Amino acid sequence: MTLIDPPVQERADRRGRLAGNWTFFRQWLKNPLAVAALSPSSQKLAREMIRQLPEKANRVIELGGGTGVFTRALLDNGVAPENLMVVELNAELHQLLQSQFPGVKVVCGNALDLERIVEREGFASDGGVDAILSGLGLLSMSKGFQRRILSAAFSALKPHGRFIQFTYGPASPVSRDLLTELGLSVQRGGVAWRNVPPAAVYVYTRSRSKPVHAVRVGRR
């Protein structure tokens, strides 16, 4: 086994983060509505997201991988690369993630198509995934888009799986009416006050009284 000198690895990691930050900012300049924040999520926010994972979470999906802050945190938390799938719509960020995490299944695709992506990749064929971490800007999405994303997400999750979402707003980005319609419950997790801007974490799970059914849409 070849050992890498820690200072050398640290400098490489720093260069990777700087490159990722610049890539993220360029994409924000191109389309600020599609990229939910001005800067990538912080490591503090990543820790708050990781804290909400189910105990012994094994198979995980990440939506909106961005520059890989959550991806790195998931791997550091013990999720095996082959048990992690990252879905990123932006082509340049997708390439960045592929180069940074060669062992992870990184898919260039739309979270609205998650059900088809999971089926195509055979990622949940053995009973579903334990958790989905979302970096999507649900707060700025229409109710219809939120419905489709959550329905597709819960079609891939195990019965007690968790959908973990952060938001910059003062409350859950998903309305109580939509949660009731989908048969979901929500709990607030931690707050990353030093994130820019500060962000709160919310955890969505199935209510016991009503299952979540996927919203199927026609192929484009």
Report pLDDT digits (tens) over 25-75: 344 334 444 444 444 568 899 999 999 999 989 999 999 999 999 999 999
- Region of 112 please: left (phi>0), alpha (psi -120 to 50) or beta: alpha
Does residue 163 lie within any of the structural domains?
yes
Angle at 188 between CA 184 and CA 193, to 5 degrees: 145
pLDDT value at position 195?
85
Does residue 14 lie within any of the structural domains?
yes
Total domains present in the chain:
1
Closest by Cα among 81, 84, 74 to 103: 81
- Residue 91, token pair as written in the block: 């082509």
The whole model's pTM is what? 0.79
Give the domain range for residue 200: 6-206
Does residue 220 lie within any of the structural domains?
no
Does residue 109 lie within any of the structural domains?
yes
Distance CA 192, CA 131 (A): 20
Distance CA 158, CA 143 (A): 24
